[in-house]
Structure 1
Amino acid sequence: MHFSNVYKTGKALMASILLLLVVLMPALQITGAQSVGVCYGRNGNNLPAEGEVVDLYKSNGIGRMRIYEPNEATLQALRGSNIELTVTILNNELQALNDAAAATAWVQKNVQPYSADVKFKYIAVGNEVHPDAAEVGFLLPAIQNIHSAIVAANLQGQIKVSTAIDTTLVTNAYPPSDGVYTDPANQFIKPVIDFLVSNGAPLLVNVYPYFSYNDNPGSIDLAYALFTSQGVVVPDGTRYPSLFDALLDAQYAALEKAGAPNVEIVVSESGWPSEGGNQATPQNAATFYQNLIKHVTSTTGTPKRPGKAIETYLFAMFDENLKEGNADEKHFGIFSPDKQPKYQLTFG
């Protein structure tokens, strides 16, 4: 073959390869985005060192982590890991962060020193604040002050500031399209939602079919909670394949009624315990986690938000033997403290 023809053929081949990469790149990005996260709670006296935990995330292909305090050892271990991070600010810190200088100091201490090589994604200001809680009046100012500090650090393009709520703020959840915030909840959550709208941030919601099932075991089928039923047709005629989807869409319905139809929801916790409560068995937990991962990493979505993966964080990485509350609270781990997997899971 003439040299010029070889050259042209080589150029054409290279162009074809580049075109293929361009075509495939969105798919590769989508695949990465569909990896589930796992919440890393540290309420245990038998847990591995932070560096070992980060290595466990990496070796299992877990691309997202939520932590419940800005622990220095964890942040150091996350450097260069490429794991997307959600940092929670606990409720007992909200009052102090109503002072703008304190919020600035918090960001300067816990975010800025690590921001070059730790992939901060969300800051969850408050976790499951309820209308009757002492902290309710401190929530919005704390969110605003942390956001202002993030902007001052020029990190607003990387980090979104939000809060994490539970599903009990919404009532009339059956059918899901009737979901609406309770009157007491609406008073404090509506201004927060307005903030999220203004700043393009998602709402973080802890979604637990396990607790919803146990609140109504006589009217909810266990299979529906475990993603193993044929689904339920609700009174408005919509078929819901799982309780998880129904709970999530009730939250979306409430957001719509609050004037925020475009706010996305990130499922910041969801899990099933292996012991300590009704239907808390290793078999049920394995079934729930396996099916949850399969569902949220697909592009099925929910009836209200079809066609895309659902950003979701499993609760939790380890059983936590010092966790307060009912016995089941200690047994949500997907790994044992010795780092052995409790279930056979593939994380995306």
Structure 2
Amino acid sequence: MAPILLLLALLISSLGITEAQSTGVCYGKNGNNLPSEQEVVSLCETNGIGRMRIYNPDQQTLHAIRGSSTELILAYASDVKFRHIAVGNEVHPGDANAKYVLPAMQNVHNAIVAANLQDQIKVSTAIDTTLLGISYPPSNDSFTPLLANIYPYFSYTNDPQSISLEYALFTEAGIVVTDGQYGYQNLFDALLDSLYSALEKAGSPNLQIVVSESGWPSEGGDVATVNNAGTYYRNLINHVKQGTPKKSGQAVETFLFSMFDENLKEAGIEQHFGLFLPNKQPKYQITFG
């Protein structure tokens, strides 16, 4: 394990996290046809979406959220309820900026402690599952995350010969993978438990992971369809309430990616992860809560 990852493991181990209670959404703004920030906050409240992840300290978004009941992943601002701070998104150990992640996390955490908010706001960085070494079976892996971006869509499309679509969409009828005492009926659980196995090896077996992104595109690929995406989101929302085989009965705090289709992103599937159309109409029949 690289030194920065070991230090990150020690820092994360010291923070802890409260048990997940609900599903949130990721709010990206890479589009030129999106509703106003205030409309987005109202849309969240109307649909029972109580948590949101944003990707930069955009003042218009913070102003719209101020005074609402919506909890954020980002940073502190007066009268806004922040739940987690993600310092960096999918920064790999070999990246030039990786050396700044831990010091930045420590600075942010120190500021939170100085404000006596350490019991309310937790600090981490968001990783993606490509940082895992061997993720099959789940118990084989080792790593140190707190916030994790988990996409069964990409795991499936990268290896459709070995992974069934049903396993990726939560629609498999029976156990697909047996790992010791645990049986896996869906890919999401297998990926998440790979991370839990990594945390056990890093000395943090009781740390709860927040899934900071998970989604399925509705266009741009063979299995990127409205039907598949709707199936994935509905099943994900229902499934995370019950936990994984390793953490049965412990709800997984999960942020769905993303609030809207974003037409300024790279052409293809990246433009089609939205739960809502830019006109605020839902793309799928989904119940949040």
1:121 aligned to 2:86?
no
Amino acid at match of 2:48: G
Classify the secondary structure of the residue corresponding to 1:332: coil
**Per-residue displacement from partner, 1:176-210 (whole Å, max 9, x unpaired)?**
111124xxxxxxx6xxx6xxxxxxxxx00000000
Counterpart in the other structure of 1:276 = 220
Amino acid at match of 1:156: Q
Given candidates 301, 308, 320, the residue that maps to 2:250 is 308
Classify the secondary structure of the residue corresponding to 1:286: helix
Given candidates 259, 271, 284, the residue that maps to 1:317 is 259
Amino acid at match of 1:251: L
C-alpha RMSD over aligned residues: 1.5
1:342 aligned to 2:276?
no
Cα distance between partner residues in 2 of 1:235 and 1:269: 25
Conserved in 1, the CA contact under 8 Å of 2:48 and 2:288? yes
Amino acid at match of 2:151: Y
Given candidates 66, 71, 76, the residue that maps to 2:53 is 66
Cα distance between partner residues in 1 of 2:222 and 2:56: 30
**Per-residue displacement from partner, 1:126-151 (whole Å, max 9, x unpaired)?**
10011221111111011001111122
Classify the secondary structure of the residue corresponding to 1:120: strand
Conserved in 1, the CA contact under 8 Å of 2:27 and 2:260? yes
Cα distance between partner residues in 2 of 1:238 and 1:156: 35
Which structure has the higher relative contact order (CA within 8 Å, separation 6+)?
2
**Per-residue displacement from partner, 1:120-176 (whole Å, max 9, x unpaired)?**
111100100112211111110110011111222222222111111011111211111
Unaligned runs of 5+ in 2: 1-18
TM-score (norm 2): 0.90
Counterpart in the other structure of 2:26 = 39
Conserved in 2, the CA contact under 8 Å of 1:301 and 1:310? yes
Counterpart in the other structure of 1:175 = 137
Conserved in 1, the CA contact under 8 Å of 2:134 and 2:140? yes
Cα distance between partner residues in 2 of 1:276 and 1:227: 21
Conserved in 1, the CA contact under 8 Å of 2:51 and 2:71? yes
Classify the secondary structure of the residue corresponding to 1:234: strand
**Per-residue displacement from partner, 1:42-94 (whole Å, max 9, x unpaired)?**
0111110000000000000001000001111111111221111111xxxxxxx
- The CA deviation at 1:235 is 4.9
- The CA deviation at 1:118 is 1.4
Classify the secondary structure of the residue corresponding to 2:43: helix
Counterpart in the other structure of 2:127 = 165
Classify the secondary structure of the residue corresponding to 2:270: helix
Task: Give the total of aligned pairs.
Answer: 270
Classify the secondary structure of the residue corresponding to 1:220: coil
Cα distance between partner residues in 2 of 1:129 and 1:252: 20
Counterpart in the other structure of 2:163 = 220
Conserved in 2, the CA contact under 8 Å of 1:175 and 1:236? no
Q: Percent identity?
A: 65
Cα distance between partner residues in 1 of 2:135 and 2:181: 15
Counterpart in the other structure of 2:109 = 147
Counterpart in the other structure of 1:208 = 151
Cα distance between partner residues in 2 of 1:235 and 1:262: 20
**Per-residue displacement from partner, 1:244-284 (whole Å, max 9, x unpaired)?**
00000000001111111121100000000000123000000
Amino acid at match of 2:279: D
**Per-residue displacement from partner, 1:90-132 (whole Å, max 9, x unpaired)?**
xxxxxxxxxxxxxxxxxxxx624x2xx3111111001001122
Cα distance between partner residues in 2 of 1:235 and 1:74: 44
Classify the secondary structure of the residue corresponding to 2:200: helix
Conserved in 2, the CA contact under 8 Å of 1:128 and 1:166? yes
Cα distance between partner residues in 1 of 2:177 and 2:265: 37
Amino acid at match of 1:249: D
Structure number, greater radius of gyration: 1
- Select the structure that is richer in helix: 1
The 5 A counterparts of 1:13-32 are: none
Cα distance between partner residues in 2 of 1:289 and 1:306: 20
The 5 A counterparts of 1:6-17 are: none
* C-alpha distance 150-34 of structure 1, shift in aligned 2 (>3 A): closer
Cα distance between partner residues in 2 of 1:35 and 1:311: 6
1:292 aligned to 2:236?
yes
